[in-house]
Amino acid sequence: MSRVIAMKLNYLGLQDAARKRRDPSQQPGPWAGSVVGIEDGMVYVTVTQERWDKAKMMVKWICKAVEGSEEVDYKTLESYRGFLIYFSRTYPACVPYLKGVHLTLDSWRPWRKEDGWKYSLREIRAMLEERGADVGETIPGSGDKPPGKVKVAPRLHDDLRALMELLQPEVPSKRAVHPSRGATVVYGFGDASGSGFGSSFTAEGEITYAHGQWDDLHSIKTSNFRELANIVYTLERAQQQGTLRNREVFLFTDNSTAESAFFKGTTKSEELFDLVLRLHKIHMHGEVVLHLVHVAGK
């Protein structure tokens, strides 16, 4: 039967070789850079200790290379970026914090701003008009070879700090991809639009809630900060109580900024940046499948 299936796959253009097959197992070992396993009925994905240590070594090297320097070696950084992109397939929480690496590697290209981002086509045309150049002329490309060293993008330092925190554990984290308690989904609601806050969790027929008034330190913060902080504090409390592990969690909020910050993985606000990082740490290390959903305030 397996031979018939292999022939059909080959006919459809999908390569299948007997030497690449493995016997059925709940601990099959590494494959395509990741290790898939089952624990307490939960399907998780992780990496080998060697890959985990290698990723930490690369991030530490970049941190040391950019410390007190405005330039970094292009070839080495490009090589490390390739591995970290491959690594982030297992840990998507790392993806947003690779943007500083991308901007640094492309900082030598033309039409780049001080922060490393590329000018829009409209901005480029406006700059050409100011110079008296023909708007219809071909906009210069980037066919030249990159230099030996490239300028460090401003956001690279924050991204490296985030990567160091995500890779802080000594052993590889197990990221949940299919909880065994999928039939018992945890639903949570959070709101902190005014001087107070409130949240609730529904799990296995029980409702856990928390409410109160913000202290003076939080009261002076923006409403976006309070909304996102309420979500983070709620999830961290639930994680400490063991409510999140091996579950799929849907947390609802009426704050679109909080939802956007979670899905983008980063934000220009320094205060919100730290909160989003704490969310990603829960998602990456908490053995939980997390969904943050926006619902209308009405």
What CATH number should be reported for the domain holding residue 248? 3.30.420.10
Query: Quick one: 152 and 215 in the same domain?
Result: no
Domain of 262? 179-294
- Give the model confidence (pLDDT) of 271-283 as tens digits: 788 888 888 898 8
* pLDDT on residue 80: 96
- Check whether 108 has a pLDDT greater than 60: yes
- Check whether 244 has a pLDDT greater than 60: yes
Is residue 283 within 8 A of residue 166, CB to CB? The reply is no
Query: Quick one: 183 and 283 in the same domain?
Result: yes
Q: What is the pTM of this model?
A: 0.77
Between CA 42 and CA 149 the distance in angstroms is 45
- Give the model confidence (pLDDT) of 22-44 as tens digits: 676 777 777 778 888 888 888 88
- Which one has a higher pLDDT value, 205 or 198? 198
**Least confident range of 94-108, 113-127, 258-272:** 258-272
**Other beta carbons within 10 Å of 77:** 21
Confidence at 198, pLDDT banded by 50, 70, 90:
confident
- Check whether 113 has a pLDDT greater than 90: no
In the chain, the number of structural domains is 2
DSSP assignment of 217-260 equals HHHTS-HHHHHHHHHHHHHHHHHHTTSSTTEEEEEEES-HHHHH
Query: Domain for residue 203, yes or no?
Result: yes
Ramachandran category for residue 239: left, alpha or beta (phi over 0 → left; psi -120 to 50 → alpha): alpha
- Which one has a higher pLDDT value, 27 or 110? 110
Query: Quick one: 276 and 216 in the same domain?
Result: yes
Average pLDDT of the residues in 246-250: 83
